Every structure is written in C-alpha cells, then in structure tokens.
Amino acid sequence: SAKFTPLPKMAASIGAVVCRALHSRRHGKFLSIGRGLFSGARCLVAEGETHFGFQTVSETEKGEKVYHVFESVAKKYDIMNDSMSLGIHRLWKDILLHQMNPYPGTQLLDVAGGTGDIAFRFINYVRSQWEHQIRQKLKSHQNLSWQEISKSYQEEELKLPGGSQVVVCDINKEMLKVGKQKAQHLGYSEGLSWVVGNAEELPFNDSKFDVYTIAFGIRNVTHIDQALQEAYRVLKPGGRFLCLEFSQVNNPLFSRLYDLYSFQVIPVLGEIIAGDWKSYQYLVESIRHFPAQEEFKAMIEDAGFLKVEYRNLTSGIVAIHSGFKL
C-alpha cells in the first residue's frame, strides 16, 4: 500500500539532492546492464520531480496522489488483488512467510501492511510453529513445562505464543481501517497493533524489531532510499529486511504477454470491479518505473544491509529481496 506525506521543505530539498544523485548514478550504471535496460528506460526528471506512473510530478504531489489512489481503492483492494493476479498473490505472500520462517517470539514490523495480509499470515505461522513444537516435544517424550501444558488446555490463545508481536504500519488510514475490519471479522486480536506512519519517517525507536517486511508498498514510496534507511534503523542487530515487490520479468516472450495483460486487461478490471480505471493504470505504470532486481539489491546494500539476496517468483513478475542488519 501507499506511503507518503508531504515532506517539510528542508527535507524535500535534501530529498531532491539525493534523488538527483541517485538518478545520475543509475544513469551511469545501467548502460552496462543488459537485462536491466528497462530500469534505464525512465524519463530524465528535473530536480524536485519524480514519477507518478508515467507522469512526471513534483515530489510533494506524488505523495498526495498516491494517498488518493489508495484511499479510493481500499475497499476493493483485496478483491482486485485476487482478480488481477488470479489469486496468485496469496501464494507469493505465503512464500514470503516461508522465507521469513518466524519462530514464536519474533517481533515483526509490517510496513505498508494496510489490509493485513502479511500480518495475518504471520500470526497463523507462529501459532502453527508453536503447535509443531509442542507436538515434537510430546513425540520425543520430553516433559512439557507447566506453562506449555496450561496453554494447550486453553481454548483461545490469549497471547501469541512466545510473545510474538506484529505491528502493521501504513500511511493510509483507509487501508488500515479495512485491515482492522478484516481482523475483527477473521478473529485476530492478540499480538496485533495498527499504526499510522510514513515509511520514510517511521514512528518507532531504533533497534526494535526482529523482522521488517514491506509487501507491494515500497514502489509507492517517494524516496525509497530513505525508507531503506529507516528499515535499517528500526531493526535490531541480526534483524532481517524482507521486501516483496513487483520486479522485471526476465523472459522476453513472457514479458510481452505480461505487458499485454498489464496494460490491456488490468485497467479494464479496475473499471469493472472497482469503478476506477485511473488507479489501476497508475498501478501498472508504477511497476515499470520500479528498479530492477539487481539495482534494488544495490540500493539495499547502500542502506547498510548485508547478505542481500533476491529471489524471483513467477518468472520475475515479483521478487523477494532479503537483507540482514549485522
């Protein structure tokens, strides 16, 4: 989901300098990258300007526009995700959780977590891990502690096992609202909190979380490098950064089909299901502007993360980037 609020003037000018530096850096870099060519196929923007889909807008404008996009799609967000990806987005998110492999006791920060997909999956995973642990202990005839025995008798989990916690942070109140309603409807209440916040300026102290995830949100951030730096800041040493985002397809034939589908079908689906063509046009355009796998990996390394890796899913339609703060 979306992330941005208008920055104060000074921060904006600093942001513009960083943005310009990044752009010129990218310009020099991509001449040598073959596949990563697409990342080079971007407009040269002036200072203080950035992309909103294929439009060029000022940086403050982008934030507002992105906010409005997600405000209007919030209610139909989940149903549109299912229609556009034919349900495959669920698999992508499941794979992200498997890669994360959280143990009971993990503190997760899910940025741009709007409607809570990652958070709910985290809770399910941690609970099933706990049950798995109990079963293992029983199998190997180890004695359960009194705490574990009393927990297994409880019908409802009053707390998440091990004290696991997930904080869902999103800049958009509408998306959080939809998420909270879903949580209530599905019965998730413990270990879950909802916070309004900007990925570029997170309202948390340093070194607080074990895992930081951002699923399909970072491409909407105006200053991606700032979001990455904030991620580094709020993670504990040893913490993991995980990003699930649309990326560049590596197979040329598949890429053409993907483009055809993206530009011809998705806005039509948006109009028919959600009554909103323009937001989904923005979506497919913003995917094209996001850096390719290697370039994004370099950006993550710049923020200080180590052992940065990425993994393509569905032939590169999405990629999971992972890094550690060590």
Partner 1 sequence: MLPIGWLGRARMGGWLRRAPGSLRGLRHLALGSPAPIGRGYRPPHTDLTVTAEEHVDEERYYQLYPGHIPTSPLQKALLSAGAAFMALYNPYRHDMVAVLGETTGTSALQSLRDKMRHDPEGYQILQERPRIRLSTLDVTGLRGLPDGTFGREYVRFLDSNRVSPDTRMPVKFVDDEELAYVIQRYREVHDLMHTLLGMPTNMLGEIVVKWFEAVQTGLPMCILGAVFGPVRLNARKLQILTTELIPWAVRSGLNASCVLNFYYENRWEQTVESLREEIGILHPPTI
Q: Please report, as ranges, the residues that interact with partner 1 according to CB under 8 A.
A: 31, 34-35, 37-38, 40-44, 52-55, 57, 252, 255-256, 259-260, 262-265, 267-269, 271-273, 275, 277-278, 281-282, 284-285, 288
Output the CA–CA distances (angstroms, integers) from residue 308 to 36, 218, 324, in the order listed.
18, 17, 7
CB of 279 to partner 1, least distance (A): 10
Is residue 314 packed enough to be buried (19+ CB in 10 Å), middle (13-18) or exposed (0-12)? middle
Quickly list DSSP for 281-313: HHHHHHHHHS--HHHHHHHHHHTT-EEEEEEEE
CB of 244 to partner 1, least distance (A): 23
Q: Which is nearer to partner 1, 100 or 283 (CB)?
A: 283
**SS3 label, residue 111:** strand
CB of 43 to partner 1, least distance (A): 5
Q: Which is nearer to partner 1, 237 or 252 (CB)?
A: 252
Q: Which is nearer to partner 1, 61 or 157 (CB)?
A: 61
Q: Which is nearer to partner 1, 288 or 325 (CB)?
A: 288
> Kind and range of the H or E element at 213?
strand 209-215
Q: Which is nearer to partner 1, 17 or 37 (CB)?
A: 37
CB of 111 to partner 1, least distance (A): 26
101-135 core/surface letters (b: 16 or more CB in 10 A; e: else): ebebebbbbbbbbbbbbbbbbbbebbbebbeebbe
CB of 99 to partner 1, least distance (A): 28
Q: Which is nearer to partner 1, 159 or 256 (CB)?
A: 256
> Is the distance from CB of 230 to CB of 199 less than 8 angstroms?
yes
Q: Which is nearer to partner 1, 38 or 310 (CB)?
A: 38
Calculate the CA dihedral of residues 88, 90, 93, 94 and round it to 10 degrees: -110
Token representation of residue 73: 């799609």
Token representation of residue 211: 């895992």
d(CA 272, CA 162): 45
CB of 84 to partner 1, least distance (A): 13
> Rounded to 5 degrees, what are φ and ψ at 44?
-80, 115
d(CA 111, CA 169): 5
CB of 287 to partner 1, least distance (A): 10
